[in-house]
């Protein structure tokens, strides 16, 4: 046990020395601070919210991708920065304006006009758009950056229905605030659940009208 502990400490010392060596011209104190920052930046938080929808996948997909009609049924809004572009015209890394009520994630650190804890509006960069997944990444680097994924797949629980899933992964200096139990983490969960409920309600309404 003692040998294992010594070996472990030895590896940590070597790792620390190797990290310091990468910043040879910096002072000892500054190198220590930078090393601690790199450790903190490795911290992560994640959230998954899933809902069963009694509507076909195609109905849910078309509902989500019809951004201009979001105001009719949702408290969120998503729109290309170039307003003339449609969702299907977007290419990876193009910018989007995303307002997700009281929580937000910004793509590849494209910060927005304002940052307020109660309501934040960012510019995000479009990451992926395939038939079953829509994903963006963004935030206020190095404070916090997140990747948000939406997916809609044929349900294994609801015959003829859809499983709608939101996944978020954050990292950064203040990412602990997004962990479960912390105020922003709890707020994000409520916000995601609220949007999923809106999608479910509207998709089922449209499916019933078919």
For 44-208, CATH number out of 3.30.530.20, 1.10.3720.10, 3.40.50.10860, 3.30.390.50 equals 3.30.530.20
DSSP 197: H
CA separation for the pair 27, 36 (Å, rounded):
14
Can you tell me the mean pLDDT for 79-90? Answer: 76
Can you tell me the mean pLDDT for 148-153? Answer: 91
More confident residue, 131 or 58: 58
CA separation for the pair 210, 205 (Å, rounded):
9
Is 182 within 8 Å of 189 (Cβ atoms)? no
Full-model pTM: 0.73
Q: Is the bond leading into 142 cis (omega within 30 degrees of zero)?
A: yes
What is the per-residue pLDDT for 125?
A: 61
Sign of the alpha-carbon dihedral angle for 164, 62, 77, 205? negative
Lowest-confidence pick of 27-36, 86-95, 185-194: 27-36
Residue 25 pLDDT level (bands cut at 50, 70, 90): low
More confident residue, 156 or 28: 156
Residue 130 pLDDT level (bands cut at 50, 70, 90): low
Phi, psi of 100, deg, nearest 5: -110, 45
């Amino acid at each position: 046990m003692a040998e294992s502990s010594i070996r472990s400490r030895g590896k940590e010392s070597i790792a620390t020395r190797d990290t310091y060596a990468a910043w040879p011209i910096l002072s000892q104190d500054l190198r220590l601070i930078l090393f601690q920052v790199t450790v903190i930046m490795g911290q992560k938080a994640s959230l998954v919210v899933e809902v069963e929808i009694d509507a076909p996948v195609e109905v849910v997909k078309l509902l989500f991708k019809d951004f201009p009609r979001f105001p009719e049924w949702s408290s969120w809004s998503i729109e290309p920065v170039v307003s003339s572009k449609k969702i299907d015209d977007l290419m990876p890394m193009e910018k989007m304006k995303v307002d997700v009520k009281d929580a937000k994630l910004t793509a590849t650190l494209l910060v927005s006009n304002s940052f307020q804890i109660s309501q934040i509006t960012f510019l995000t960069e479009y990451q992926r758009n395939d038939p079953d997944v829509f994903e963006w990444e963004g935030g206020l680097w190095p404070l916090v950056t997140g990747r948000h994924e939406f997916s809609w797949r044929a349900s294994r629980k609801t015959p003829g229905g859809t499983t709608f899933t939101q996944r978020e992964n954050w990292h950064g200096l203040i990412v602990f605030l997004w962990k479960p139990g912390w105020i922003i983490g709890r707020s994000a969960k409520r916000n995601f659940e609220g949007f999923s409920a809106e999608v479910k309600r509207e998709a089922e309404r449209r499916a019933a009208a078919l």
